[in-house]
Structure 1
Amino acid sequence: MTDRGAPLLTVVLPSRDLVGDAAASLIARCHALVASGLDVELLVVDDRSPVAREGAEAEPFRAWIRETAAAGSRVRLVVGDGVGVAAARNRGAGAARGRYLWFVDDDDDWGPDGAATLLDAALAHDADVVMADAVLVRHGRVGRAQVVADGRGAGEASGARVVEDLVAGRVSGHLWNKLLRRDLVVAAGFPDLLRHSDLAGLLRLLPAAGRVVRVPTPVYTYRVRDGSLLTGDRMRWRDLPDCLDLAREVGPAPAVEVFAVVKVAVPLFQDVARRGTSLPPSEAAEARAWVRAALTPRRIVATLRSGRPVAALGALVMRAAPRVYAGVYRRRRAGSVRPGRG
């Protein structure tokens, strides 16, 4: 139940070790949000950065938070446990006072316009979840920005229907282009995964959502950089198989068969290939063995019949000639990097 005087929206911002120009840019985004006139609070979860541990006051972003909070603004800082983004999001959801939550990252582009678009749609339709479009930019890569079109097909749907779309790959597993009712998030929680906890969290909470609204408007720009959570060397290979277990619990069987290929086995194999020697050999071998077992002929055929011939062909090559696939994947990935930017 929302407290009296509580805001309609809490923007939850996990942050860690942000300094320099990145901190200045984030301060500008946060200031624009709290000065926008929206009924919003900004809740920053400091995921136990060195600044938080040492108690230093000079770091610009956290200094701004303390000064702004002391002035009576709806800006609050809570300290996380330093064990990962899933725990930080759970801490933020538990401390939030808003009816709705919007989870954002500290190194992406977002602001009051996106917040207003999501909140207006939620209030107009009494929605449990709002999904909008977003833009994904891969730094240092050749090619145009990718549109994450979760807002396509504007209108209403049940949570159960959106689960089917999520498992079938018609909806992304990202959080930053979705507004979520706080009590749904608190009840479901984000699983303790190093990566892909956003996808796993959506698989948990969407079945309980009564009304989901789509808005075909970009509200967020996600910037993928080398060293980020998705592209860095840190990984726990069981995270994606754990997502598959959750999908089996909530998704229709035919769609789960395709999910196992397109959203789990193929990206897991690519992660292992990309990381090379940074992943312990025993873990890499376990992951490759799991992928081979997961890529059954039945699942590959189901992927082909679902209208994904390229994914089905890739899975077939991955299963029959994994070294060939890994070599081609590494060469294609290296060829997409702009010279001098890595």
Structure 2
Amino acid sequence: MAVSTQPLISVIVPVYNVERYLDQCVESLIGQTYERLEIILVDDGSTDSSGEQCNAWANRDNRIRAVRQCNAGLAAARNTGLDLAKGEYIGFVDSDDYVLPDMFGTLLHNLQESDADLSIISYERENPDGSTYCNAFPDKKIVMTSQEAFAYVNQHGYFYVTAWDKLAKKELFDNLRYPLDAVYAEDSPVTYQLLDKADRIVYDSTPLYRYRMSENSQSHGITDKFAQSTGAMLDLVRTKYPHVEAYAAYGHLESIVGTCNRIMLAHQRKQWAQFERYARTELRELLPMVERKGIIGKSQLLQWKLLATSPTLYGMMYALYKRRHPEIASH
């Protein structure tokens, strides 16, 4: 098939102070085996040389467009890219990450082969010490409905609410943009809406995206935004997909417990007392349904029950666990 007859994929890359990693990111995009790409580099007011690098890349490859805006955050940069995108399909790549050569070709092939609206791939985490990690179940290729997708996204070993492991038909973004008030977890509300709007979704567990863990990747401030997002997701599932409510409840509880963990590690229980009360209420209400469905392990179940009944004791035990296992994320 001639390149000109292939559909155009718009790849949106928000850029902010990533001069160390940007070249590798862009090189991985121009080296894609699927060549009909529109690569939109959105410089979100960088104060290092990232903006100059974006312009240099745009001068080297006519598929690259470099735009600059005043610093407004990741969500605003993604929205700028969406407003400019001319492709039939939309993908995102974070500028401190990179992708393997077949990523967008595989995403598009799977989407077309499955007659899907949304295609999802897996990723491998690259740690600061050079080690890599992927927790996706291997050799999985699943074509699913929205209802099934809400079950999978709330289980470990499948896909996540991130923006950058997906390829979507452009029309899924009609009247849909990233929330500007979200400093953290801005991906999740949009991903949940994409899963709801898509008639058919395909997931491939091949890890073709490389997510770079920097030293401060887990240093987000405490926020209840993700818990709010998963709460809205649970309400949506209850209304439209009640058969998978238990999975949505599990995902919601996991986000709540993760927030509680960060609060306790920061010794801010007093400041977040209202959230802790909310967490205990949600755990007492939803955990029995999750337990009956059999989608939670015994150890995790006991931990969450302890948080619901005695957060002080839970906090002491969690702090001890983190001292012994500092490498484990706080979720």
Q: CA RMSD in A?
A: 2.9
Residues 127-179 of structure 1 show CA distances to partners (whole Å, capped at 9, x for unaligned) of: 211122222345469x9723234x86414222333133324565422232221
Give 1:260's match in structure 2, choosing from 239, 252, 261: 252
How does 1:13-28 map onto structure 2 within 5 Å?
Answer: 13-19=13-19, 22-23=20-21, 26-28=22-24
SS where residue 57 of structure 2 aligns?
Answer: helix
Partner of 2:64: 75
Quote the offset at 1:71 in angstroms. Answer: 4.5
Residues 211-258 of structure 1 show CA distances to partners (whole Å, capped at 9, x for unaligned) of: 212223111122333323xx2243432432233123312342333332
Partner of 2:260: 269
How does 1:294-313 map onto structure 2 within 5 Å?
Answer: 294-296=282-284, 298-305=285-292, 306-308=294-296, 309-313=298-302
Partner of 1:54: none
Partner of 2:206: 217
Matched AA of 1:77? A
Is 1:184 aligned to 2:175, yes or no? no
Give 2:144's match in structure 1, choosing from 135, 144, 157: 157
Residues 193-227 of structure 1 show CA distances to partners (whole Å, capped at 9, x for unaligned) of: 22222221111121111221222311112233332
Partner of 2:30: 34
Structure 2 unaligned blocks of 5 or more: none
SS where residue 223 of structure 2 aligns?
Answer: coil
SS where residue 147 of structure 1 aligns?
Answer: coil
Give yes or no for contact 1:194–1:239 (8 Å, CA) kept in 2.
no
Q: Distance in 1 between matches of 2:171 and 2:6?
A: 14
Q: Distance in 2 between matches of 1:94 and 1:211?
A: 24
SS where residue 167 of structure 2 aligns?
Answer: strand
Distance 1:97 1:333, change over 3 A: farther
Q: Distance in 1 between matches of 2:82 and 2:300?
A: 36
Is 1:105 aligned to 2:97, yes or no? no
Distance 1:189 1:101, change over 3 A: same
Residues 80-111 of structure 1 show CA distances to partners (whole Å, capped at 9, x for unaligned) of: 45333222222222211222222121222324
Percent pairwise identity: 21
How many residues are paired up?
A: 314
Q: Under a length normalisation based on structure 1, what TM-score does the superposition of the two structures give? A: 0.80
Q: Distance in 1 between matches of 2:266 and 2:71?
A: 24
Structure 1 unaligned blocks of 5 or more: 52-58
